[in-house]
Amino acid sequence: MVRFDNVGMRYGSGTEILRDISFRLPRGSLTYLTGASGAGKSSLLKLIYLGHLPSRGLIELFGQDIVTAPRDALPLLRRQIGVVFQDYRLIDHLSVFDNVALPLRIAGTAKADIAAHVEELLGWVGLSDKMRATPPELSGGEQQRVAIARAVITRPRLLLADEPTGSVDPELGDRLIHLFLELNRIGTTVLIATHDVAMMERHRAPVMRLIRGELSIGDH
């Protein structure tokens, strides 16, 4: 599903902030990506969701080499990846409904299907009564649930979450993890970047640890 071989990454002409990264995420797996702040977790996710190109090495997504892939092939790959950004990246002037519907609209889903899907999913994340609100009118936890709904509305094959429990209380954090576990059970490959040790102990899964830009793999 995801394969990295000796990948390096740098911003601009700076030094490499990721070095010799090699790993595989099997189909249907759930994996934690951990490491101290600044270790490069967000940057590694960025490589996977095609937000940045590696400075060297090989990256394969769904069996396709993304470094040699033509630019026009990338949007279709991105549509198979759901991302919950650390800062949510919702569109403030669109309603909750329109934010969550956005990936379906971009993919050209029929209007009737969009309404049904979005309403069902917003019910599932407990935001049925906030569909017409805009993100600035929501609490942090509600915004995060909108971000998650937008990330999974297209039933992506791969779900990436960047510090999903970072800014919510432990109880809500637990509910989020259950949501990810649920999605994982129905076949979604999940990668969660986090430094929430308590969470990783409650819900055990393989852990990839970044230490100053280098990866060590093993159980927590």
Partner 1 sequence: MIACFQRLRLLPRGALSNRLVPAIIACMVFLLCLAGSAALILHAGLAGFQQELAGRYTVELPADPKGPADPATIARVIDRLALDPAVLSAEPVSTGTMARLLAPWLGRDASLGDLPLPTLIDIAAVPGSTLDTAKLGAALQEVAAGATVAPAVTSLKEIGELAFAVELAALVVVLLIAACLVTVVIFATRAGLAAHLRLIEIVHQIGAFDRQIAGQFSRHFLLLGLAGGVLGFVLSGLLALAVIALAGDAQSPFLPAGTTLRSSLLPLLAVPVAVAMIAGATAELTVRRALRAQV
Q: Among residues 13 and 68, whose Cβ is nearest to ligand ADP?
A: 13
Q: How far is the CB of 162 from partner 1 (least distance, A)?
A: 13
* Site map (CB under 5 A) of Mg ion, residues 26-55, x = contact: ----------------x-------------
Residue 38 touches which member of ligand ADP, partner 1, Mg ion, none, C-beta under 5-8 Å by kind: ligand ADP
Q: Max Cα separation, the chain?
A: 49
Q: How far is the CB of 2 from partner 1 (least distance, A)?
A: 16
Of 31-39, 126-134, 138-146, 169-177, the segment contacting ligand ADP by CB under 6 A is 31-39
What token pair was written down for 80?
A: 């198979």
H/E stretch holding 65: strand 64-65
Q: Using a CB cutoff of 8 Å and minimum separation of 24, what contacts does 20-23 make? A: 20/57, 20/214, 20/215, 21/57, 21/214, 21/215, 22/57, 22/215, 23/208, 23/215, 23/217
Q: Are 220 and 200 a contacting pair, CB within 8 Å?
A: yes
Q: How far is the CB of 28 from ligand ADP (least distance, A)?
A: 25
Q: Are 4 and 23 a contacting pair, CB within 8 Å?
A: yes
Q: Are 83 and 45 a contacting pair, CB within 8 Å?
A: yes
* 72 belongs to the binding site for partner 1 (CB under 8 A): yes
Residue 35 touches which member of partner 1, Mg ion, ligand ADP, none, C-beta under 5-8 Å by kind: ligand ADP
* 87 belongs to the binding site for ligand ADP (CB under 6 A): no
Token pair 């299907």 is at which residue?
A: 113
* 74 belongs to the binding site for partner 1 (CB under 8 A): yes
**Residues near 128 by Cβ (< 8 Å), separated by ≥ 6?**
119, 122
Residue 40 touches which member of Mg ion, ligand ADP, partner 1, none, C-beta under 5-8 Å by kind: ligand ADP
> How many whole angstroms separate alpha carbon 175 and alpha carbon 50?
28
Residue 13 touches which member of ligand ADP, Mg ion, partner 1, none, C-beta under 5-8 Å by kind: none
Q: Among residues 106 and 217, whose Cβ is nearest to partner 1?
A: 106
Name the residues that contact ligand ADP, by CB under 6 A: 11, 17, 35, 37-43
